[in-house]
Amino acid sequence: MSPLIQLSLALLLQSSLALPPRTAMENPAAASEVPEKLKKDYDQAWTRFVVAKDDGKLVKDLDKVLQKQKTFDAVWTLEGYIALYKGEDATAREKFTEAVTANPKNRIATYYLAEIAYAHNDYASAATLYAQLLTIGTNRSEIETKRQKAFLLATDSLLRGAGRAEGENRLSEAEGYYREALKLAPNEPTLHARLANLLIKENKKDEAEAERKAADDLSPRRAAKPTIETAVNMVRADDLEDIGRWGGDINIFHEIRDAGVVTREEFALLVSRYFPQLTEFRQNPQIITDIQNSRARFEIQTIVGVGLMETLPNHYFEPLAPMNRGDLAKALARLSRLLGVSGGAGTPIAAPDLAPANALYSDVQLVLGSGIMTLQDSGSFDVSGDVSGQLAVHSADRLVRTFQQLQR
């Protein structure tokens, strides 16, 4: 595992399931219907839970309520709460599962099932549950980020397992890992191509042909249909890293990478996926008034909050405005400083179009000195020049590599 991913995982795993004071817990009745005839009993039970008055007796009384109303998901959710505060995660999972079985739209029970799965390193289940929660609807703004993190961790674990098993000639086990990964990212052509390659080794030619066809049909840049071997050879060495970063959103990465000019919104998406630990840095929330319909709304809030980019004086971010090379240098220099990456203390790199008095001079020198960006062929930096998708991806990748080297 790369040092960057190791750091990301360490940040993600620093805390397990953290619980607020009971007074801050959401009343399960907010997500479940409470029968009128049992409302008094339920309200009394909720009050007793909040004041932590004899949980053992409260559970017995709740079981009596369930004898009157056999499908009462608010009660099961409340029993799950009690189990959480006792540190009995297995019991809590059982109670929340009963609640969700009775009411699949119970967002509170679904949330805590996801949190328990995440805390116990069951990232595949956590990713699925967070995704389910998003379809139900939630008042928690961080759920999409948690889904992405769980997806990243689950995919990374499965692909590393597949690589180890395949390298040790445990082909059947490797096949299982790839198939589990495909459950998470069924539309990812790279995974289908790698599975096709493995199936050839197992002499499962018909299945390999089906996977090859899936890889071909899902490929965003498809020409003539390749053979199985050609499809596998088309898989670039870094594709698995891309899948780990983007998961089911890999087509967004392809779109950004192939863009002639990257927008501010696309840069926010890109840098957030390359550096998921951004969410762990202290943020200074800003009012942004024009990103309600942006697909990168959360990512924009994050990179503005940590200071990589700013809003305009009218609180606009202008997500569809193009990035220029000066914007890119400034954002990557700020990110470099957050990560502790410096451009070195060598001789400044001369750029005839950028005097030392220029406000961007120190940022440009940092990214040039660390190799994150380079001068144009003309020898100038060209601060107002366009930023292509290839340049944005290369620069972000170069910063990742530089950061990894510092961690070794």
Within-domain flag for 144: no
How many structural domains comprise the chain?
Answer: 3
Q: In this structure, are residues 250 and 242 in contact, taking their beta carbons and an 8 Å threshold?
A: yes
Lowest mean pLDDT: which of 2-6, 175-179, 339-343, 383-387? Answer: 2-6
Q: In this structure, are residues 395 and 372 in contact, taking their beta carbons and an 8 Å threshold?
A: yes
Within-domain flag for 142: no
Q: Is the pLDDT of residue 253 over 60?
A: yes
Q: What is the separation, in whole angstroms, between the first and last Cα of the chain?
A: 12
Distances (CA, A) of 390 to 62, 220, 258, 263, 386: 60, 17, 7, 13, 11
> Do 230 and 328 fall into the same domain?
no
102-110: average pLDDT: 94
The CATH number covering residue 116 comes to 1.25.40.10
β-pair partners for 148 = none
Within-domain flag for 294: yes
> Do 268 and 388 fall into the same domain?
yes
Within-domain flag for 75: yes
Q: Give the per-residue pLDDT at 94.
A: 95
> Do 268 and 399 fall into the same domain?
yes
Q: In this structure, are residues 253 and 273 in contact, taking their beta carbons and an 8 Å threshold?
A: yes
> Do 169 and 277 fall into the same domain?
no
> Do 209 and 230 fall into the same domain?
yes
> Do 295 and 266 fall into the same domain?
yes
| DSSP code for 374 | -
Among 84, 105, 137, where does a domain finish?
137
Taking only the tens place, the pLDDT of each residue in 235-245 is: 444 455 676 67
Q: Is the pLDDT of residue 8 over 50?
A: no
Among 222, 245, 268, where does a domain finish?
245
Sign of CA dihedral 350, 351, 355, 360: negative
Q: Give the per-residue pLDDT at 343.
A: 64
Q: Is the pLDDT of residue 109 over 90?
A: yes
> Do 265 and 392 fall into the same domain?
yes
Q: Give the per-residue pLDDT at 286.
A: 86
Within-domain flag for 251: no
List the domain range (segments joined by +) for residue 108.
Answer: 3-137
Taking only the tens place, the pLDDT of each residue in 212-241 is: 898 888 865 444 444 433 333 434 444 556
CA dist 200 and 82 (Å) reads 52
> Do 240 and 372 fall into the same domain?
no
> Do 75 and 208 fall into the same domain?
no
27-47: average pLDDT: 92
Q: Is the pLDDT of residue 162 over 90?
A: no
- pLDDT confidence band for 203 (50 / 70 / 90): very high
Q: What is the mean pLDDT of the chain?
A: 85
Enumerate the H helices of 21-169 as residue ranges.
39-50, 55-68, 73-85, 89-102, 107-119, 123-136, 143-167
Among 245, 275, 303, where does a domain finish?
245
> Do 7 and 131 fall into the same domain?
yes
Taking only the tens place, the pLDDT of each residue in 134-150 is: 888 877 777 887 887 78
Lowest mean pLDDT: which of 234-243, 288-297, 380-389? Answer: 234-243
> Do 263 and 240 fall into the same domain?
no
Q: Label residues 289-305 b or e (16+ Cβ within 10 Å = b).
A: ebbeebebbbbbbbbbb
Q: What percent of the chain has pLDDT over 70?
A: 88
> Do 376 and 292 fall into the same domain?
yes
- pLDDT confidence band for 190 (50 / 70 / 90): confident
29-47: average pLDDT: 92
- pLDDT confidence band for 171 (50 / 70 / 90): very high
Taking only the tens place, the pLDDT of each residue in 354-371 is: 999 999 999 999 999 999
255-278: average pLDDT: 92
